[in-house]
Structure 1
Amino acid sequence: MHALDPLTLARIQFGFTVSFHILFPAITIGLASYLAVLEGLWLWRGNTVFKDLYHFWSKLFAVNFAMGVVSGLVMSYEFGTNWSYFSSYAGGVTGPLLTYEVLTAFFLEAGFLGVMLFGWDKVGRGLHFFSTVMVAIGTLISATWILASNSWMQTPQGYRIADGRIVPADWLQIIFNPSFPYRLAHMGIAAFLATALFVGAVAAWHLLRGRDDARIRTMMSMAMWMVLVVAPIQILVGDLHGRNTLEYQPAKVAAIEGHWENPPGESVPLILFGIPDMKSETTRYAIEIPHVGSVILTHSWSGTIPGLKDFKPEDRPNATVIFWTFRVMVGLGMLMLLLGVVALVLRWAGRLYSNRLFLRACLVMGPSGLVALLAGWLTTEIGRQPWVVYGVMRTADAVSAHSAMTLSLSLLIFVVLYCTVFGTGIGYLLKLAAHGPDEHTVTPVGDELDKRPARPLSAATESLN
């Protein structure tokens, strides 16, 4: 077995830390909007069920938000330590975009988060609702800037090269690059889907354990409506995103589809399953459906796309990996749509809250939104290789000059620390979810809980024991 080189180790380390981090912002985005909806419904209808659910989910939001902030800080340092040549070469674009995210989104969230989490009994209803809405908007603005930066790396434009570095030439072109709107919509919807499935799984857990009350039913009902409405929209957005990728990153699409040669004028089959072999330049054990690939990719019966052999070997992404990560994402998306349709049928039959097979399916599907999100992210990022800025800077030219030993040791430390710290945090989140929503009571003035430091984790009062 060959030892891993510094480039591979640096990619694994960044991929590991980002994979942990991306889970928390996704749930933060979804829960922030969910909390705004819950508080808005309470103010509109006066039903205390919505208020109780708000206070329950605000605890999970607070813990998740704190873990997202901590995990995000690590990546800021990694840009400098592990990818210094990238930061030096492309920092004129990516640096300001990330700065805009801090100035517009993070400050907005931080400014209103304290009021949202700790001001329920201290400020008026209107101000508190406004604070919740501002936090929700802040999470969406944050996603906008992050995805603008990532999308520019995928489809760069609006720049010029001066003195060996990338220099911004047109910020509107940089921000609104060709893939930006598709990535923003796809990621935003993925966050809402992942949150809805999480909420539905929590409701299913309590229903299966015999707790059947208005709060649990409301959670399940809202989650399943969200899945039913958003899943087909995500499929449509995914199709648009795929066609955009075919236009600007055809090698990625060829790798995703496992196609090596597509003669002009011949239709493209859909390869359902197979094992792409990068060395032999073929997809082994391929199970194909004629013409369907053309229909999906080009919306025509006989449309064609480039094959991987149309690109130099050094310019090809790893088809063996993204062929399967893409299918995991799409397969889970189809199951989400099926879950929403089944929920609609059971709702019509009056069995949405009592069908135990369906409730078990909701429980199993709880993490599927996050799994699909991770699979999609891996498809996007590995499919961009061997470029860090597509067509402009190769990943091999972006990595810092560290030894394999240094990167191996730091990777080991990251794995141990992340699994310990965030494993504990995720365990605490699941404990809060298992406790379920209770009736909200006002914290008495002078109570010890009221004297705790007003930091996000203080919003969750349950102990770890």
Structure 2
Amino acid sequence: MEFLSDTVVLSRMQFALTAIFHMLWPVLSTGMAIYLVIVEGVWLKTRNPDYYYHARFWSKLYLLNFGVGVATGIPMEFQFGTNWAPFSEAVGNFFGSVIGFEASWAFMLEAAFLGIMVFGWERVHPIIHFISTILVATGANLSTLWILTASSWMQTPTGGEMVNGKFIVHDYFQAIFNPFMAVSVSHMFIATLETSLFVIGGISAWYILNNRQSAFFSKAFKIALAAAIAVAPLQIYIGHLSAEQVYYYQPSKLAAMEAQWDTIPGGQSANWSIVALPNEKAEKNDWEIAIPNGLGYILELKQKLSAPVRGLKEWKPEDRPHLVGLIYYSFRIMVGIGFLLAGLMLWSTLQWLRGKLSPENIAQQRWLMRAWIFAAPLGYIAVDSGWIVRCVGRQPWTVYGLLRTADSASHVPATNVLVSLIGFAVTYSILFIGYLYFGSRIIRRGPRLDLPMPGMETKPAVETTPGQFVPDERPVEAQQ
């Protein structure tokens, strides 16, 4: 239990807890905001009331998600001053600016128009409301841009140099458009969209499986599936590009991702390990199952037979990542989920082409609906696993090659950090339970089909089952 007296380790644990938990919420809000733009745009184009009610229903979950995201995001940023003050002092010239851009350009834009999007349906013109929804989605996704820009710069710092312990920026554009930036932003953007699509599809599948407004939710399911047809394979390709970048810019991280201890010299192609049991003390894998020559071909090296693949032993123990098992399996979990979601998309597409997803037949696809329900949380697991690989694999550096983690932590008593770590764990557990309660309550109640539509006369609705409304088709005299 030596880590309980180590300020750096406890600060890392606290930041890991707050970051992993916070990441759950913007992942959904950024992707779902785009979905809300789509369904509201379709409603304005077709005036089909189903799409209006979809926009109203999913915006409730969006608002709940946004609230928890704000509550968990602000404390995480405060840690740069409380737990990581030397880091902020050293790289604040650039890192602080980018985080400021995220707050002023992205968060403020999203927050400013969120009220109109959620509560302005009957108060503003439909076009003004649609513009507000677009701006909310823009703000949410600008957050992805700036946060990933800052994180990418920590992975491949460019645009300046360290002078007397501080990073001096010479070229802001070079720092912003660092080597990791474009692929990292794309990878995260597609990850948030894919996660949101499978959450929306999974919730819709739950309604369909339980014979609750199957025709209504089949529309949401098909929108999610149609988008997933493009998104799921694209994410696999962008992930491949990201792995290639790691090979060229962070070979020690790649070695940890593959539990590669010994360097494979030029003239040989490295094996690809499927599963293994890394042993850091012995600097070897106690056992593994590997595909001969697989890694070189996966990376598509331009010189497969002459480019070496460096092993962890190439670096001194203090200069290479630790927790190799965590990095190794987090990477495989992320990749495995990516292929699993792509496989589910392919299965669903085949059923769609066979006419099995029509409103009349979709409720009969029970195993397919169960698979989508099972897949709903997998995107979250993949995203958090990817961030574990990204951040733990960067160690022992906070800014790769420039600033060590040990030199980035604030010099505060370990007991102080331990108390705040426990406080965060308890508070976030309560928040998570509250989110599950209110989220499940929204889902159980279902969409309100009795809400008036702006600029259109609607039929009154009756409640057929608790929380389920359908238009009242009775004569006017009977309704009265």
Q: Same fold (TM over 0.5)?
A: yes
What one-letter code is carried by the residue in structure 1 that aligns with 2:93? G
Aligned residue runs from structure 1 range 354-369, under 5 A: 354-369=364-379
Aligned residue runs from structure 1 range 424-439, under 5 A: 424-439=434-449
Structure 1 counterpart of 2:173 = 172
Is the CA contact 1:30–1:192 (under 8 Å) kept in the aligned structure 2?
yes
Aligned residue runs from structure 1 range 18-417, under 5 A: 18-261=19-262, 262-299=264-301, 302=305, 303-318=307-322, 319-352=324-357, 353=362, 354-417=364-427
The DSSP-based 3-state class of the residue aligned with 2:270 is coil
The DSSP-based 3-state class of the residue aligned with 1:120 is coil
Structure 1 counterpart of 2:462 = none
Distance in 2 of aligned mates of 1:410 and 1:104: 30
Structure 2 counterpart of 1:419 = 429
Distance in 1 of aligned mates of 2:153 and 2:133: 31
Distance in 2 of aligned mates of 1:157 and 1:96: 15
Is the CA contact 2:258–2:328 (under 8 Å) kept in the aligned structure 1?
yes
**Which residues of structure 1 form unaligned runs of 5+?**
445-461
Is the CA contact 1:55–1:440 (under 8 Å) kept in the aligned structure 2?
no
1:303-350 residue CA offsets vs partner (Å, 9 max, x unmatched): 542111112211111221100000000001110010000001111223
1:367-388 residue CA offsets vs partner (Å, 9 max, x unmatched): 0011100000111000000000
Counting aligned pairs with the same residue, the percent is 38
1:4-51 residue CA offsets vs partner (Å, 9 max, x unmatched): 321111101000001111110111101111100111111111111111
| 1:257 shift after superposition | 0.9
| 1:391 shift after superposition | 0.3
Distance 1:3 1:241, change over 3 A: closer
Q: Once structures 1 and 2 are overlaid, which stretch shifts more, 399-408 or 87-96?
A: 399-408
What one-letter code is carried by the residue in structure 2 that aligns with 1:38? V
Distance in 1 of aligned mates of 2:26 and 2:47: 30
| 1:239 shift after superposition | 0.7
Is the CA contact 1:52–1:440 (under 8 Å) kept in the aligned structure 2?
no
Is the CA contact 1:272–1:286 (under 8 Å) kept in the aligned structure 2?
yes
Distance in 2 of aligned mates of 1:82 and 1:149: 18
The DSSP-based 3-state class of the residue aligned with 1:35 is helix
Larger Rg: 2
| 1:89 shift after superposition | 0.9
Distance in 1 of aligned mates of 2:137 and 2:164: 41
Distance in 1 of aligned mates of 2:312 and 2:240: 21
Distance in 2 of aligned mates of 1:285 and 1:233: 33
Distance in 1 of aligned mates of 2:337 and 2:432: 25
Distance in 1 of aligned mates of 2:437 and 2:277: 36
Distance in 2 of aligned mates of 1:342 and 1:174: 43
Is the CA contact 2:204–2:217 (under 8 Å) kept in the aligned structure 1?
yes
Distance in 2 of aligned mates of 1:210 and 1:242: 43
Distance in 2 of aligned mates of 1:343 and 1:210: 19
Extract structure 1 runs of 4+ deviating beyond 4 A: none
Is the CA contact 2:207–2:214 (under 8 Å) kept in the aligned structure 1?
no
Is the CA contact 1:298–1:304 (under 8 Å) kept in the aligned structure 2?
no
| 1:436 shift after superposition | 2.3
1:145-165 residue CA offsets vs partner (Å, 9 max, x unmatched): 111111111100001223431
Distance in 2 of aligned mates of 1:365 and 1:133: 28
Aligned residues: CA RMSD: 1.6
Residue correspondences, number = 445
Q: Once structures 1 and 2 are overlaid, which stretch shifts more, 385-394 or 125-134?
A: 125-134
Distance 1:440 1:245, change over 3 A: farther
Is the CA contact 1:205–1:434 (under 8 Å) kept in the aligned structure 2?
no
1:382-416 residue CA offsets vs partner (Å, 9 max, x unmatched): 00000000000000000111222221111111111
Is the CA contact 2:162–2:402 (under 8 Å) kept in the aligned structure 1?
no
| 1:3 shift after superposition | 4.2
Distance in 2 of aligned mates of 1:440 and 1:377: 42
Q: TM-score, normalised by structure 1?
A: 0.93
Distance in 2 of aligned mates of 1:305 and 1:41: 50
Is the CA contact 1:206–1:434 (under 8 Å) kept in the aligned structure 2?
no
| 1:434 shift after superposition | 3.0
Distance in 2 of aligned mates of 1:182 and 1:433: 35
Structure 2 counterpart of 1:457 = none
Is the CA contact 2:32–2:196 (under 8 Å) kept in the aligned structure 1?
yes
**Which residues of structure 2 form unaligned runs of 5+?**
455-466, 468-480
| 1:299 shift after superposition | 4.1
